[in-house]
């Protein structure tokens, strides 16, 4: 018999599903506690505010992606394969969201709801910068003598990936992510 997750975990699970499916602003505390099957006070015993719960949700989304990415990178041998592994990690993470109805990047969706300067936006911006830094790192293994070319392609790949993720969210499926992986492959072949 499996053990029931703790209250904090149930609240995070409920928030993750509702924030992703309906948006952060549209999801009230009552909906989260009802979905988690806990009393409202339980939320405030585990999180100081809805903003604290949102921060935990975003941190969890980032950590989920890092775990998926780590698995993909562990299987990649060459720098080229590592670049493609980043694209594959986005595909894998997208598939994790299908049970809720795929809406694209949960991080970008949440960030769009907050004003510039909000800590939630910084969390998302940091993850996007992390992706670009990974591209830069792996591309520099391919062409260490050409830092300007590395920088330009890392930025280009980052924009392609994030743009494809945004369009995939609008489409409701991962077709754009698969297409952009092929574009990345072509760019790597000519790099």
CATH number for the domain spanning 40: value is 1.10.10.60
Structural domains counted in the chain: 2
Looking at residues 121-128, what average pLDDT do you find?
Answer: 96
Same domain (yes/no): 71, 123: yes
**14 lies in the same domain as 102:** no
Q: Are residues 41 and 65 in the same domain?
A: no
Assess whether 8 and 76 both reside in one domain: no
Same domain, 151 and 179: yes
**Angstrom distance (rounded) from CA 13 to CA 21:** 12
| pLDDT higher than 90, residue 183 | yes
In a domain, 39, yes or no: yes
Indicate if 42 and 131 belong to the same structural domain.
no
Tokens 């924030």 found at: 19
Same domain, 16 and 90: no
In a domain, 52, yes or no: no
Give the number of C-alpha atoms closer than 13 A to the C-alpha of residue 87, restricted to the C-beta side: 27
pLDDT of residue 95: 83
pLDDT score of 137 more than 90: yes
Q: What is the DSSP letter of 37?
A: T
Q: Could you list the residue range(s) of the whole structural domain that residue 156 is in? A: 57-189
DSSP 60-119: HHHHHHHHHHHHHHHH--SHHHHHHHHHHHHHHHHHHTGGG---S-HHHHHHTTS-TT-H
Tell me: do 6 and 91 sit in the same domain: no
Q: Do residues 83 and 15 both lie within one domain?
A: no
Q: Are residues 33 and 73 in the same domain?
A: no
Is residue 127's pLDDT more than 60? yes
Same-domain check for residues 43 and 65 = no
SS3 state at 25: coil
Rg (CA), the chain: 18
- CA atoms within 13 Å, Cβ hemisphere of 187: 21
Q: What pTM value is reported for the model?
A: 0.90
Task: State residue 96's pLDDT score.
Answer: 81
- Which pLDDT score, from 0 to 100, does residue 102 have? 84
Token pair belonging to 3: 């053990």
pLDDT greater than 70 at residue 1: no
CB-based contact 25:50 (threshold 8 Å): no
- 67 and 134 assigned to the same domain: yes
Query: What DSSP string runs through 141-155?
Result: HH-TT-HHHHHHHHH
């Amino acid at each position: 018999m499996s053990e029931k997750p703790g209250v904090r975990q149930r609240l995070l699970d409920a928030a993750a599903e509702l924030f992703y499916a309906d948006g952060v602003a549209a999801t009230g505390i009552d909906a989260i506690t009802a979905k988690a099957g806990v009393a409202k006070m339980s939320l405030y015993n585990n999180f100081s505010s809805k903003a604290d719960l949102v921060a935990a949700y975003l941190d969890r989304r980032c950590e989920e992606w890092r775990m998926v990415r780590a698995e993909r990178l562990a299987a990649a041998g060459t720098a080229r394969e590592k670049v493609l592994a980043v694209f594959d990690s986005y595909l894998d993470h997208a598939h994790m969201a299908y049970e809720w109805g795929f809406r694209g990047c949960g991080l970008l969706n949440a960030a769009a709801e907050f004003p510039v300067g909000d800590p939630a936006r910084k969390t998302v911006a940091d993850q996007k910068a992390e992706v670009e830094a990974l591209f830069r790192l792996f591309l520099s293994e391919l062409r260490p003598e050409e830092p300007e070319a590395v920088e330009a392609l890392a930025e280009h790949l980052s924009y392609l990936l994030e743009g494809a993720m945004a369009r995939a969210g609008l489409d409701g499926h991962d077709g754009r992510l698969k297409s952009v992986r092929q574009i990345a492959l072509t760019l790597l072949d000519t790099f």
